[in-house]
Amino acid sequence: MMSAISAGAQQARGHRWAIVLHGGAGVIERSSMTPEREAEYRAGLKRAIEAGAAVLDKGGSSMDAIEAAIRILEDDPNFNAGKGAVFAADGTNQLDAAIMDGATLRAGAVADVTRTRHPISLARAVMEKSPHVLLVGPGADEFSKYAGLEQVDPSYFFTERRWESLVKQLDKEHLPVPPRPQGAPPAPKQPLAEVEAPEVHKYGTVGVVALDRAGDIAAGTSTGGTQAKRWGRVGDSPLIGAGTYASNQSCAVSATGTGEYFIRLTVARTVCALVQYKGMKLQAAADEVIHHDLEALHGDGGVIAITPDGQMAWSFNTPGMFRAKLAEGGKLEMGIYGDEP
């Protein structure tokens, strides 16, 4: 049932549901993007946010909206999550995801999974069907089968574009190139014309924050991590408080960027702490963490965020971040480059 406070907050904000989404931050510039590719990214962001919005508009929960939107981005090979995930240095795709429910502070997360088509649904299953918050590696893959989630052969995650990008990076770093993964389609005769330079690999992680008609907020993030990662490296995305956080007491946040900085700064939780304890507006809190704390460490990336009273924010210090937001009765706002509103 809606409390008097949340009913009042809803009146104040003028919309009863809202959703914000990111598709990763990084060196995303007009000069390195073809019009066709840009159109594909925009179409992907639109499909995902509209799926989440449809859930919210029908009175569905913020958790359901997040899962619906992220599953679409996980199936879209343009994003670094699910199909389209970057490769680790050993030639495997190691997927991380987390989801958190701001109403109850329950959360679920997975790291280094290799066989679940939709890691965000696995994160949610960890929250709902296990007593734990974070499962990793083969154990998480095992739990996925037990939870009845769709299993795929690891080669399902293979994309030529990510593979060639990995090979380029390993060559540049003088690291050994692993054999082409088993089950991957035969190598094309010509390398793809359009493969990102290794230094622009850090984008494509996806994340969604949402507010539902009941006044509850949630956050979710899904990623293949950073390209050519080694030694079982895990980033911020599946770590509650670093890349993903939600509490109805403050805000919901999903982050993207070089995870090591976001872990050290507990970025997602810090944005919410500024809102909760300092009474800061959401945009100011997000800007403080990204443009002050993150920059002080020379870290790079961004966040999206939402509050139970309907404030929406994004903030990033990279040249671009794939992003979109939509609220009940409002217009879809979408951006890729830093100079868009």
Give the residues lining the site for ligand ASP (CB under 6 A): 24, 202-203, 205, 223, 225-226, 235-237, 243, 256-259
Which CB atom, from 60 or from 257, has the smaller least distance to ligand ASP? 257
Cβ atoms of 83 and 116 within 8 Å: the answer is: no
Please state the closest distance from residue 95 (CB atom) to ligand ASP, in A: 10
Please state the closest distance from residue 309 (CB atom) to ligand ASP, in A: 27
Please state the closest distance from residue 7 (CB atom) to ligand ASP, in A: 36
Which CB atom, from 169 or from 205, has the smaller least distance to ligand ASP? 205
Instruction: Catalytic residue, from 159, 205, 256, 270: name it.
Output: 205
Burial class (CB in 10 A: 0-12, 13-18, 19+), 38: middle
Phi, psi of 35 (to 5 degrees): -60, -35
Which CB atom, from 225 or from 335, has the smaller least distance to ligand ASP? 225
Please state the closest distance from residue 236 (CB atom) to ligand ASP, in A: 5
Q: What is the DSSP string of 316-336?
A: E-SSEEEEEEEETTS--EEEE
Could you tell me the two tokens for 227? 């390209």
Q: Is 116 a catalytic residue?
A: no
Which CB atom, from 108 or from 207, has the smaller least distance to ligand ASP? 207
* Sign of the C-alpha dihedral computed for residues 127, 130, 134 and 140 taken in this order: negative
Sequence-separated (6 or more) residues with CB below 8 Å from residue 319: 26, 27, 28, 29, 337, 338
Catalytic residues, which ones? 205
